[in-house]
Amino acid sequence: MPITFDKGTKIFTINTHSTTYQMMADSFGYLLHLYYGAKTQGFTDWTLTFADRGFSGNPYDAGKDRTYSLDALPQEFPAQGTGDYRSPLLVVRDSEGTYGADLRYSGHEIRDGKYSLSGLPAVYANPGEESQTLSITLTNKRLGLTAELLYGVIPGKDIITRSVIIRNNGNNPFTLEKLGSSCLDFTHGNFDAITFYGRHAMERNYQRQRLNHGSYSVGSRRGMSSHQYSPVMILADHDTTESHGRCWGMNFVYSGGFFAEAEYDQYNQTRITMGLSQEKFSYELSPGEEITGPEVIMTFSSEGLEKLSHNFHACIRENICRGKFRNSSRPVVLNTWEALYLDFDGKKILDVAESAKALGVDMLVLDDGWFMKRNTDSQALGDWTADESKLGCSLPELVRRVKAMGLDFGIWVEPEMISEDSELYRAHKDWAMTIPRENPVLGRNQLVLDLSRKDVREYIITAICEIIDAGISYFKWDYNRSISEMYSRSGSNGKLSYKYILGLYEILGRLTAKYPDVLIEGCAGGGGRFDAGMLFYTPQIWCSDNTDALDRMSIHYGTSFAFPMSVISAHVSTCPNHQTGRITPLKTRFTVSMTGAFGYELDPLKLNDDERLEISKQIQQYRIDREIITEGLYYRLNDLESDNYFAWEYISADGSKALINAVIPNNHGNNPPVYVTPKGLTPGTFYCDIDSGKIYPSDAIMDSGFPLEIPKGDYESFTFRLERISA
């Protein structure tokens, strides 16, 4: 069994294929963390040390024993007010304004199957896949507070998940000022923290830094997981590389504000925590009420960062993403945004569709500008009625005409937003999240609808259903500003940041249930809400509004640490690129964009004959490679900080086929040779490059690599398709 409990020691053990996680309810009832690492036998309570440490408080129960202090012991769910001065997961204020909650173990349950969370996305187990749930209850009698700690395990993928449900079983209200879901305490070690920072149009840049004494944190106060920081944190030994060394990862299954913190304390111990952002969060629980902390996906690798990434990839692809499109091929799309922006009419759309079909595209996606009075980005959000004078016909008729060409039809929507210049705002100003008697903060000339309100959610669902019923096969769900004013006219503003996201999930859940054959692509100004929570509802996300091939390589590199290629949406755009002005070869743009969800972001009517022919061949080739890209193992083959090239590899699960891509971003005089070293090939075999016919012994090529041709210009790309042959 993956989860066991020893009654004598009160030690809980969670085993996966390659890892062990242990904790103990000690003699005082505190739940202490013991171990998370490579799979082991026996118990690890010997990892605990006890000493009289000055200014580290002792529980009253310990009497005169000053060697016991929660300020120095590793814990599973640290709460403020227990003598532990490190960063807690829980901060509680009671009805009299007193802070603190001393939580003690009061029971547990082990059951088969993976838990689910009410109103929140969570990892699920597939039929026939071994899984279990551990529920541990901690109690504070004074407040009548119980914390149900939930641990889920998918053993075959080395995945352990954590969540928490806080309940008020007492007679008086209390308020949560902080709620985290997961904590890992390390009694010793010297670590690096790996996080992913960015900005709009340059998301998820890789960052690795040594942890020194103090706290290092990332998070979002923006009401979404954000362009600025990804809700992912990785802890690694200093010498950990892609293929060697220990590393631990946390990945937050949530699309709103978050915190992730790594603290290196006075005793050279390390604590990493993850949970809801404290900003704009003050959640009162009345008697009988509860709140659920969003899930954290955890994984450990003793074989370097690529193994940790593979664990995350498999879990998200197979245990987060759901529905028809989880394992099926995604359509090759042509999106009209960079092709036409808001300047088009019905004839133009049909001309673009006809040209796209000739190239071999599967679907036309009509982006912003299709609804009433939407001629600039400062008006009409919320008025989701097609502009028939602009389209030249009704939306169902336009869809019918495009489908008659042999193309599916997709459309852009931004349902969470409202323009001041809109019929919806004039009718329902109170639906917008603005502060009374103050001028609102505008972002992209728009305001945010209050999704905590049932009437707002019902309006959005009705509007989107009418659009889909026009024959839509795909819609791009956008979100183009952060939330600054957390104010709801329905009250409970300390709960609003959390309830907003629950409202979003309710809408998406109802739509995906009603329209299981419709593909939803998530988007928030590109990658502003690229997280596992959204992927539970939208199996692909527009990775970034930046379509420049060179920048996209860095964005894809950072994204790949926690997310599989199958969920990354990337398009070939025109040159000079609209974001950077850079000119890159069409071949290189294809090489970089050829990820799980592939398409084009250009006007096909402006292509010359050579470009049309090349794009037709690209689409044909992508269809050949699509399976290995979306289902294969992914390897990063370059060190972003030191190499003068980018290289990445997809390899089938059985190792029979590999697809290797490389780009040399800068060409210089008398360039030194660049060698690319594949990974994951079957040892003791040979591989044939099916384009050149060259034969490579697998062991030698994985040891020494093979050289790229000397580039003939900037940004040249190289692709190798290897097939295993008998020795």
Per-residue pLDDT of 21-68, as tens digits, reads 999 999 999 999 999 999 999 999 999 999 999 999 999 999 999 999
- Coil, helix or strand for 373? coil
> Is the predicted pLDDT of residue 525 greater than 70, yes or no?
yes
Q: Could you tell me which of 286, 167, 194, 209 has the C-alpha nearest to residue 248?
A: 194
Residue 322: CB atoms within 10 A of its CB come to 16
Q: Could you tell me which of 640, 642, 586 has the C-alpha nearest to residue 614?
A: 586
CA distance 237 to 245: 7
Answer yes or no: are the C-beta atoms of 573 and 554 closer than 8 Å.
no
List, by residue number, the catalytic residues. 531, 611
Give the single-character DSSP code of 709.
P
Give the single-character DSSP code of 429.
G
- Coil, helix or strand for 411? strand
- Coil, helix or strand for 396? helix
- Coil, helix or strand for 354? helix
Output the DSSP codes for 293-350: EEEEEEEEESB-HHHHHHHHHHHHHHHTS-STTSSSPPPPEEESHHHHTT---HHHHH
Q: Which helix (H) or strand (E) holds 182?
A: strand 174-186
Cα separations in angstroms, 506 against 121, 129, 502:
10, 27, 6
* Greatest alpha-carbon span in the chain: 86
Residue range 530-552, pLDDT digits in tens: 999 999 999 999 999 999 999 99
Q: Which helix (H) or strand (E) holds 134?
A: strand 132-140
Q: Could you tell me which of 701, 680, 700, 686 has the C-alpha nearest to residue 303?
A: 680
Answer yes or no: are the C-beta atoms of 248 and 143 closer than 8 Å.
no
How would you label 428-464 residue by residue, b for 16+ Cβ within 10 Å and e otherwise? beebbbbeeeeebeebebbbbbbbbbeebbebbbebb
Give the position of tokens 């009625």: 385
pLDDT score of 727: 57
Q: At 304, list the tokens.
A: 């370097």
Contacts of 474 (CB under 8 A, 6+ apart): 331, 333, 363, 365, 408, 409, 410, 411, 518, 519, 520, 521
Give the position of tokens 């001028």: 439
Q: At 552, list the tokens.
A: 């996209």
The one-letter amino acid at 150: L
Whole-model pTM? 0.98
What does the chain come to in residues?
727
Give the single-character DSSP code of 181.
E
> Is the predicted pLDDT of residue 663 greater than 90, yes or no?
yes
Going by pLDDT thresholds of 50, 70 and 90, the confidence category of residue 668 is confident
Q: Pairing between strand 675-676 and 706-707?
A: antiparallel
- Tell whether omega for the bond before 576 is within 30 degrees of 0, i.e. cis: yes
pLDDT score of 642: 80
**End-to-end alpha carbon distance in the chain:** 41
pLDDT score of 185: 98
> Is the predicted pLDDT of residue 252 greater than 70, yes or no?
yes
Residue range 596-620, pLDDT digits in tens: 899 999 999 999 999 999 999 999 9
> Is the predicted pLDDT of residue 653 greater than 90, yes or no?
yes
Strand partners, 132: 112, 153
Strand partners, 163: 150
Q: Which helix (H) or strand (E) holds 587?
A: helix 586-593
| Burial class of residue 63 (count of CB atoms within 10 Å of its CB; 0-12, 13-18, 19+) | exposed
CA distance 647 to 661: 6
Going by pLDDT thresholds of 50, 70 and 90, the confidence category of residue 304 is very high
Mean per-residue pLDDT, 94-106: 97
The one-letter amino acid at 302: S
Backbone φ and ψ for 660, nearest 5 degrees, come out as -120, 130
Mean per-residue pLDDT, 75-87: 98
Answer yes or no: are the C-beta atoms of 143 and 92 closer than 8 Å.
yes
pLDDT score of 627: 96
CA distance 164 to 35: 20
Residue range 672-687, pLDDT digits in tens: 899 999 999 999 999 9
Mean per-residue pLDDT, 270-297: 98
Given strand 695-697, what is the order of strands in its sheet? 633-636, 646-651, 657-664, 716-725, 686-689, 695-697
How would you label 389-420 residue by residue, b for 16+ Cβ within 10 Å and e otherwise? ebbbeebebbbebbbeeebbbbbbbbbbbbbb
Q: Pairing between strand 408-413 and 474-477?
A: parallel
pLDDT score of 32: 98
Q: Could you tell me which of 460, 471, 452 has the C-alpha nearest to residue 515?
A: 471
Q: What is the 3-state secondary structure (H, E, C) of 150-161?
A: EEEEEHHHCEEE
Answer yes or no: are the C-beta atoms of 539 and 557 closer than 8 Å.
no
CA distance 36 to 621: 44
Going by pLDDT thresholds of 50, 70 and 90, the confidence category of residue 726 is confident
Domains plus CATH for the chain?
3-319 (2.70.98.60), 333-631 (3.20.20.70), 646-725 (2.60.40.1180)
CA distance 422 to 424: 5
> Is the predicted pLDDT of residue 127 greater than 80, yes or no?
yes
- Coil, helix or strand for 19? strand
Answer yes or no: are the C-beta atoms of 32 and 76 closer than 8 Å.
yes
Q: Could you tell me which of 274, 253, 295 has the C-alpha nearest to residue 78?
A: 274
